[in-house]
Amino acid sequence: MAESKRADVIGLPLDRIDGRLKVTGRATYAFEYATQGSVAYGVIVSAAIGKGRILRIDTRDAQHAPRVLLVLTKDNAPPQTPWGPVDLPDRFARAEPALDTDEVLYFGFPVAFVVAETFEQATAAAAMVRIQYDPMPGDYDLHAAGPSAENPGRIDGNGPADSAVGDFESAFASAPVQIDAHYTTPHQHQAPMEPHATMAAWEGEMLTVHTSAQLTTSPQEGLARTFNTPKENVRIITRYVGGGFGSKLPYYVDATLAAIGARTLGRPVKVAMTRPQVFYTTTHRTASEQHVRLGADRDGRLTAYGQEALVHCARFDLFTEPVCDAARRLYAAPNRLTRHRRAKLDLPRSDSMRAPGEAIGLLGLECAMDELAEALDLDPVELRLRNDTSSDPEQDRPFASRHLAEALREGAARFGWNKRVAKPASVRDRRWLVGLGVASAIRGDILQSATARARLENDGKITIELAMTDIGTGSYTILTQIAADTMELPVDRVTVRLGDTRFPPTAGSGGSFGAATSGSAVLAACRKLKAGLASGMTESLGSVTPADLDEAYSHAGFGAHFAEVCVDRDTGEVRVRRMLGVFAAGRILNAKTARSQMIGGMTWGIGSALLEENHVDSRFGSFINQDLANYHVAVNADVGAMEVVFLDEADPHGGPLGSKGVGELGICGAGAAIMNAIHNATGARIRDFPATPDKLLATLETLDP
């Protein structure tokens, strides 16, 4: 590997640079920065009601508990900038004050903070804080709030809430074949392994924050805003992150309170959220109700194509999950309609979770396509092929590259799709009912802003620095490859340093733009340095901006998911035997890490189809699942044989690297392929995700011998 020469390095399945550090426990995470002896531990106290006002907080016992250093409530918290502004273009840089109100905005809302010499002492004292509330009725139920939902105007990603082409209603009414179906998806949680955690320390006016975050520049700006200090005074360090999946795009009160505690006590303070707090104090993915209407002619060409979604956002926020974004670009149809409505609930904030929009929008849309295929008596792969398009159907511009049809065909051939028996419940294997399903994948591709520094060291090695993060995806590794490739050096001569706002700013990791964005900045910096070496240059900066993606084209990654499931004919347990994902995602920067991302995404597809779900008990306004024993993410035993195929895709109109995002494409459509396979196996149409055994029993009763 070390001998690899130019043009060989990008794309190689290089092992993770940080792999060894991680498996040997030497990668230091935010909470592990030990300045043993001087550090104090903070614990957040969470509100026990869903909505209301704090009448009184009695902290006397807590204050007198052993080795307690500080008890903060709204009565003695220092002044901070109020939350927001709500419509700040970078919502992850909003002020995030803590304990600045006597209002309780949601169950689990932070209401007090206790710092002690040890974590255990702080935890014990935190339980002694007595709070009297004046509870108020709140709205917690998405369905009930539906009628009062508003038109949000814009959705996440800044697209319009509604879109219309042609005359959907009349086209649908007159379509010879119609599907009119309602789907629901539940509240979901990102559930990263590493909880949200921070260690903060002050030196004079300088605040250093070790935190577990996907972004660096935004929390730097946000904390500076919160404390009304220049952003140069705030340094964010986040070298390793144990998963984020969108939940670490925002920063939270663990950072704010650690900073306040550290300032007040004049010593470093660490704060980690408890697992229940990770569930209710951070963001989650909204539940959704989706109404999909498809009209087609007898040949299976869509004439009317509509998806409408109802989502929630916290009463004080503006986020709207772009559920119908995928539909806007996935298939051709002359008459189209999408619509987003948003209900404000007294729940914690909803925000991004892996592939916001597509991940759940495709569950409804791609299951409806399966229903349409069945109504037409047409093969589901063929139906999708018939509605393919080379130009963006609502944007009037071509796709920079789109290989959906190739992915579907390649996948069908590899998967043995021709063996699928169209009639449901036809294939049995001992106690199992077996079925196959397919779904398309699409995920919008964007480029953000980033700058990278490349430096030639005295020993001839290259150091790359940028305020990018590696949230477990492989950023360290691919950036090393890009630098080595561009500088024509072996990879072991390149050191990539990330996760520090002392380095040039980047947009961080999110929305699958991380690799392309930061990679392009590294590419630019290295190219510049290489060109300048002859004239004695030793350091260079390279940048990329969203404008580097050609606006004359629509940009997205595509793919096709195939799933084989078996359903226990007695109990309704569903097991995924195998999945195949075929993806066209531009240039692949590292075959191994890209594959891992896809497998991860497809595994999340299993979660969304079969497992993941939280309930809100509307009497209390709180999530019921607050731990990983009850909130089920897929475990190894749930994951059957996984195959990932990348099509060779050059994207001449793409960004500087020609790569597309891979972190989210793998989940898009994966759950729908599984649900469609369940239908093929049993004949059941479950439109209420996930497909837990209870929902299959009625159908199984009819299939009993």
Partner 1 sequence: MKPFRYERANGVAAACAAAAAPGARFIAGGTNLIDLMKLQIETPELLVDIGLLPLADIIESTAEGGLRIGAGVTNSGLAADMRVRRLYPLLSQAILAGASTQLRNKATTGGNLLQRTRCPYFYDTTKPCNKRAPGSGCAALHGINRMNAVMGVSDDCIAAHPSDMAVAMTALDARLETVAPDGAIRAIPIDALYRAPGNTPHIETVLAPGELIRSVLLPPPPQGRQVYRKVRDRASFAFALVSVAVVAEREGDRVRAARVAFGSLSYKPWRSAEAEASLEGASATRTSFDAAGIAALKNARGYGHNDFKIPLARRTLRATLADAVGV
Residues taking part in catalysis = 664
Q: Which two tokens stand for residue 286?
A: 């909204």
Which residue in the block uniquely carries the two structure tokens 């890209």?
A: 594
Judged by CB under 8 A, which stretch of 118-126, 445-453, 543-551, 582-590 contacts partner 1? 118-126
Least distance (Å) between residue 34 CB and partner 1: 21
Measured at the CA of 697, the angle between CA 693 and CA 698, to 5 degrees, comes to 145
Least distance (Å) between residue 76 CB and partner 1: 24
Rounded Cα distance, 516 and 607, in Å:
27
Q: Please, which residue, 60 or 502, has the CB nearer to partner 1?
A: 60
Judged by CB under 8 A, which stretch of 178-186, 408-416, 417-425, 693-701 contacts partner 1? 693-701
Q: Please, which residue, 59 or 626, has the CB nearer to partner 1?
A: 626
How is residue 609 annotated by DSSP? I
Do strands 269-272 and 40-46 pair parallel, antiparallel, or not at all (unpaired)?
Answer: parallel
Burial of 300-309, coded b for 16+ CB within 10 Å and e otherwise, reads: bebbbbbbbb
Q: Please, which residue, 531 or 698, has the CB nearer to partner 1?
A: 698
Q: Which two tokens stand for residue 471?
A: 């949230």
The residues near 585 (Cβ < 8 Å, ≥ 6 apart) are: 557, 558, 559, 594, 646, 649, 659, 660, 661, 662, 665
Judged by CB under 8 A, which stretch of 92-100, 202-210, 458-466, 620-628 contacts partner 1? 620-628
Rounded Cα distance, 89 and 448, in Å:
14
Q: Please, which residue, 206 or 624, has the CB nearer to partner 1?
A: 624
Rounded Cα distance, 170 and 146, in Å:
25
Judged by CB under 8 A, which stretch of 219-227, 321-329, 523-531, 626-634 contacts partner 1? 626-634
Q: Please, which residue, 540 or 622, has the CB nearer to partner 1?
A: 622
Least distance (Å) between residue 144 CB and partner 1: 16
Do strands 462-465 and 641-646 pair parallel, antiparallel, or not at all (unpaired)?
Answer: unpaired
Rounded Cα distance, 383 and 393, in Å:
17
534 scored as a contact of partner 1 (CB under 8 A): no
Taking the mean position of all CA atoms in its chain, how far away is CA 423? 36
One-letter identity of residue 629? A
Contact set for partner 1, span 670-689 (CB under 8 A): none
Q: Which residue of 173, 206, 635, 641 would you call a contact of partner 1, by CB under 8 A?
A: 635
Contact set for partner 1, span 563-582 (CB under 8 A): 568, 570-573, 575
Least distance (Å) between residue 608 CB and partner 1: 13
Q: In the stretch 38-77, what mask flags binding to partner 1 with x, by CB under 8 A?
A: ----------xx----------------x-----------
C-alpha distances (whole Å) from 72 to each of 123, 317, 610 are 14, 25, 42
The burial class, CB within 10 Å (0-12 / 13-18 / 19+), for 13 is middle
Q: Please, which residue, 62 or 515, has the CB nearer to partner 1?
A: 62
Contact set for partner 1, span 86-115 (CB under 8 A): 107
Judged by CB under 8 A, which stretch of 419-427, 523-531, 557-565, 625-633 contacts partner 1? 625-633
Q: Please, which residue, 497 or 569, has the CB nearer to partner 1?
A: 569
Judged by CB under 8 A, which stretch of 121-129, 238-246, 315-323, 488-496 contacts partner 1? 121-129
Q: Which residue of 90, 120, 297, 492 would you call a contact of partner 1, by CB under 8 A?
A: 120
Rounded Cα distance, 387 and 598, in Å:
25
Burial of 203-221, coded b for 16+ CB within 10 Å and e otherwise, reads: eeeebbbbbbbbbbbbbbb
Q: Which residue of 1, 193, 624, 641 would you call a contact of partner 1, by CB under 8 A?
A: 624
Contact set for partner 1, span 248-307 (CB under 8 A): 276
Nearest one of 4, 463, 1, 498 to 241, comparing CA atoms? 498
Q: Which residue of 620, 643, 688, 703 would you call a contact of partner 1, by CB under 8 A?
A: 620
Q: Please, which residue, 228 or 630, has the CB nearer to partner 1?
A: 630
Tell me if residue 514 falls in helix, strand or coil: helix
619 scored as a contact of partner 1 (CB under 8 A): yes
Tell me if residue 105 falls in helix, strand or coil: coil
Number of DSSP helices (H) and strands (E) in the chain, helices first: 17, 28
25 scored as a contact of partner 1 (CB under 8 A): no
134 scored as a contact of partner 1 (CB under 8 A): no
Q: Please, which residue, 332 or 703, has the CB nearer to partner 1?
A: 703
Q: Which residue of 75, 150, 492, 617 would you call a contact of partner 1, by CB under 8 A?
A: 617
Q: Please, which residue, 28 or 618, has the CB nearer to partner 1?
A: 618
Q: Which two tokens stand for residue 396?
A: 């009037």
23 scored as a contact of partner 1 (CB under 8 A): no
Least distance (Å) between residue 638 CB and partner 1: 5
Least distance (Å) between residue 183 CB and partner 1: 20
326 and 383 Cβ atoms separated by less than 8 Å: no
Contact set for partner 1, span 418-457 (CB under 8 A): 431
Nearest one of 430, 368, 112 to 253, comparing CA atoms? 112
Burial of 55-68, coded b for 16+ CB within 10 Å and e otherwise, reads: eebebeebeebeeb
How is residue 230 annotated by DSSP? -
Judged by CB under 8 A, which stretch of 145-153, 344-352, 496-504, 624-632 contacts partner 1? 624-632
C-alpha distances (whole Å) from 250 to each of 92, 156, 202, 405 are 5, 14, 22, 37
124 scored as a contact of partner 1 (CB under 8 A): yes
Q: Please, which residue, 229 or 692, has the CB nearer to partner 1?
A: 692
One-letter identity of residue 679? H
Do strands 432-444 and 556-568 pair parallel, antiparallel, or not at all (unpaired)?
Answer: antiparallel
Rounded Cα distance, 214 and 92, in Å:
10
Site size for partner 1 (CB under 8 A): 42
Judged by CB under 8 A, which stretch of 84-92, 232-240, 380-388, 619-627 contacts partner 1? 619-627
626 scored as a contact of partner 1 (CB under 8 A): yes
Q: What is the CA radius of gyration of the chain?
A: 26
Q: Which residue of 382, 388, 550, 638 would you call a contact of partner 1, by CB under 8 A?
A: 638
Contact residues for partner 1 (CB under 8 A)? 48-49, 66, 107, 120, 123-124, 127, 276, 431, 568, 570-573, 575, 610-611, 615, 617, 619-620, 622, 624-627, 629-630, 632, 634-638, 692-694, 697, 700-701, 705
